[in-house]
Amino acid sequence: MAATPAFAALCYARDYDNAHLVKHVDQRVTRITVRLLADNGTGVGVGMWFRGDKRQWWAGGGCKQQGKTFSCVLDGDGGTLVVTQNAKGIRLDVPEAGVQVEHPDAQGSASFQTVDGPEHRVFLLAPAPEQECEPQN
């Protein structure tokens, strides 16, 4: 039995090389991962890395699925995003208001970054091994 489009892959990733980042000087995201979850409902986990910061920043939330499109609301007022599956992977659309990702500091408190602006509206990601989407400390 072939996998339905919604479950063709669970993990998607993209690393942006120097050539891309030189052309997109306002893009702060250097790596992004998206994990679509399907057990007990549908959810999303997004990992982001930024220029000059080797830490993973994270956001997660719930999604409503309609065919190949997932409309997601991130936890903690993190914003909304839309994930659309296609033959090459996924397209992640971020609204103009952006999304918020977090990272715990040494004391366990969360630090937040807002990902917005024209260079952060659309991300195209390819299927990746599941371990690529695991949260990292």
Say if CB 116 and CB 137 are below 8 A apart.
no
Q: How many helices (H) and strands (E) does the chain have?
A: 1, 10
Identify whether 57 is part of a domain. yes
Identify whether 91 is part of a domain. yes
Say if CB 14 and CB 126 are below 8 A apart.
yes
Q: Over 60: is that where the pLDDT of 1 sits?
A: no
Total number of domains in the chain: 1
Looking at residue 76, what is its pLDDT? 87
The predicted-structure confidence for 55-113, as pLDDT tens digits, reads as follows 999 999 999 988 889 999 999 889 999 999 999 999 999 999 999 999 877 667 788 98
The predicted-structure confidence for 8-29, as pLDDT tens digits, reads as follows 468 999 999 999 999 999 999 9
Identify whether 2 is part of a domain. no
Looking at residue 77, what is its pLDDT? 87
Closest of 133, 132, 128, 134 to residue 8, by C-alpha: 128
SS3 130: helix
Q: Over 70: is that where the pLDDT of 38 sits?
A: no
Q: Over 60: is that where the pLDDT of 47 sits?
A: yes
Range(s) of the domain holding residue 106 = 7-133
